[in-house]
Amino acid sequence: MSLTDERQPGPQQWTGWVDLGCLRPPDRRVVAAVVAGAVGTDLALRSDVTGLAGGLLPALVAVGLLASGRVVNGRARPVLALAPLFGLWLAVRVSPWLLPLDVLAAAALLALGASLARRGDPTDLSIPDLCGRALHTLAHGVLAPGFLLGGLSQRRSAGPSATGAVVRGCLLAAPLISLLALLLGSADPVFASFFRLPTSGTDVFAHLVFLAMGAVGVAGLLRMASAPPFELPAGGGPRPLGAVEATTVLGALVGLFGAFTATQVLAVVGGAGYVARTAGLSYADYARSGFFQLLAVAAITLGVLVVLRAATSLDSANHRRRFLVLGEVAVALTLVIVAGAVRRLWLYEQAYGLTMLRLCSTLFALWIGAVFVLLAASLGGTGARRAWLAPAAGSLALAGLLITNVVNPEAVVVRRNVERFGSSPELDARYLVELSDDAVPELVRSLPRLDPESAAFVRDAVCSGEREPGGGLWGYNASRRAALEARRAACPGPEA
């Protein structure tokens, strides 16, 4: 039987690139993957996500997708294999600046791998293609319960199955296993730690909600992997912008950015007197202001250039040449703006110290600058036969996120500020102690380098944190454990 013969009929079977019909109904492997994902999600959320259970959840989902037999495209497997690499940082870091990005990266890689399960190349994806795949993923998530229930009802109508026998066996075994597990847990604390979660009471409703969330999420990915591959309409559709409109927009951008660059040159040449006369600011205040606005300008310009490139119809060689020249000039001037933003951030950090917001803004500016370099190469015709710009930009973002996780940015912030202001009352110790447990070991190591008042304040704040581990095995987090060890070493008391 061919794959097309397995298509389920019904109103969900649409035509074209929005085809949400299902090629293969769920089987035992799909049910097992959904159950494993549901239990893993419940365990991760009950363990506050930032623990071993949360770190292993993307790996569990990726293994379930691969074991289901629905991922037949070899180019999708490396994408799925990357998702656990970011998920595992949930068991290592606790910084609120990193964990949402790690979760987003792992979820996006799982969704992209499921979307490419049957066909597609992760290195050849346009921005419209990525947007369409995102909507496709949401649609499959909405239809996931019907996917599962429809498969189960078909199996019931076909008569007894091995899946039903397994379910009956699990129901029979559950009371016995629960009783024996309770007895073994009471006899061995290490064994009991496998099941201890940092919650008070047994909230059955919360368990049901978390189980349902995990089941729907995994079922949605499996449904997408079982369905016809996503495809944009042939030809990509008409381009709504003409060359004149696009070059007018580009010309306006070039004129505006050229004027801004000229004012920067005048400010450097004219010095403090010129800035004071024209802006009413000291040169130091002028040089350290406006970095967030400059980053916003760069981000907006990137979006405008990408949209213009995708939406403009260039019918003649003159139009293409004019668009290319104006686009490259706009990229070059935007890179000047990005460099100015990075310089202003650096000057601000020199004067007032490093914060996570300033560090993340600098990293974002560097990423934006790198993407503009890629955009310049794309506009120039590099790799014109492939839509490589979005995958390359995404790969840079993932690589940057991975490196940032490795270096521990909160420890970098502490180290940098202590080196700059350690023995000075200018050190903002109040900000440093507000950082997460990622920063605690570095704070403890920095205590001898602080002035007495700041050292006493930091020690008191550090020692007020948790001194005993909690959460059991599934709640284990490397940064929390390192912070506990640092507190025990630095803080007086019977716990030390």
Question: For all residues of the chain together, what is the average pLDDT?
Answer: 82
Across 140-154, 169-183, 189-203, 260-274, least confident range: 189-203
Q: Do residues 458 and 482 share a domain? A: yes
Rounded CA-CA distance 189/196 in Å is 10
Q: Do residues 355 and 464 share a domain? A: no
Reading the block at residue 84, the tokens are: 């656990």
Domain count, the chain: 3
What's this model's pTM, rounded to 2 decimal places? 0.83
Rounded CA-CA distance 358/360 in Å is 6
Reading the block at residue 309, the tokens are: 């490139």
Euclidean distance between the first and the last CA atom of the chain, given in angstroms as a whole number: 68
Q: Which domain holds residue 34?
A: 3-234
274: left (phi over 0), alpha (psi -120 to 50) or beta: alpha
Q: With 90 as the cut, is the pLDDT of residue 392 above it? A: yes
Task: Show which of 182, 211, 234 is a domain's final residue.
Answer: 234
Which residue in 330, 332, 311 sits closest to 322, CA to CA? 330
Which residue in 397, 374, 399, 396 sits closest to 387, CA to CA? 374
Higher confidence at residue 170 or residue 25? Answer: 25
Note the pLDDT of residue 446.
93
Mean pLDDT of 310-329: 87
Q: Do residues 281 and 225 share a domain? A: no
Mean pLDDT of 481-485: 93
Rounded CA-CA distance 359/38 in Å is 37
- Residue 196 phi/psi, 5-degree rounding, is -80, 125
45 within domain boundaries: yes
Q: With 50 as the cut, is the pLDDT of residue 13 above it? A: no
31 within domain boundaries: yes
Rounded CA-CA distance 314/308 in Å is 11
> Nearest-5° angle of CA 45, CA 46, CA 49?
40
Across 276-290, 341-355, 377-391, least confident range: 276-290
Output the CA–CA distances (angstroms, integers) from residue 170 to 174, 183, 191, 275, in the order listed: 6, 19, 22, 77
Note the pLDDT of residue 377.
93
475 within domain boundaries: yes
401 within domain boundaries: no
Rounded CA-CA distance 421/415 in Å is 10
pLDDT by residue (tens digit) across 147-195?
A: 877 655 555 555 555 555 555 566 556 666 666 666 676 666 666 655 5
3-state secondary structure of 241: strand
Note the pLDDT of residue 65.
95
Q: Do residues 49 and 89 share a domain? A: yes
Q: Do residues 387 and 277 share a domain? A: yes
Reading the block at residue 453, the tokens are: 């008042």
Q: Do residues 139 and 33 share a domain? A: yes
Higher confidence at residue 11 or residue 73? Answer: 73
171 within domain boundaries: yes
398 within domain boundaries: no
Rg (CA), the chain: 28
Q: With 50 as the cut, is the pLDDT of residue 304 above it? A: yes
Task: Show which of 215, 234, 253 is a domain's final residue.
Answer: 234
Rounded CA-CA distance 273/495 in Å is 60
Strand stretches in 199-321, DSSP E: none
Across 8-22, 46-60, 96-110, 227-241, least confident range: 8-22
Rounded CA-CA distance 79/124 in Å is 13
285 within domain boundaries: yes
Q: Do residues 135 and 201 share a domain? A: yes
Q: Do residues 77 and 169 share a domain? A: yes
Q: Do residues 296 and 361 share a domain? A: yes
Rounded CA-CA distance 472/487 in Å is 19
Across 2-16, 106-120, 171-185, 263-277, least confident range: 2-16
Q: With 70 as the cut, is the pLDDT of residue 14 above it? A: no
Rounded CA-CA distance 208/438 in Å is 32
196, 203 in Cβ contact below 8 A?
no
Distance of CA 441 to the CA centre of its chain: 26
Q: Please name the amino acid found at residue 194.
A: F
389, 377 in Cβ contact below 8 A?
no
495 within domain boundaries: no
Q: Do residues 345 and 452 share a domain? A: no
Q: Within a 13 Å sphere around the CA of 445, how many CA atoms are in the beta-carbon half?
A: 15
Higher confidence at residue 181 or residue 479? Answer: 479
- Residue 9 phi/psi, 5-degree rounding, is -75, 165
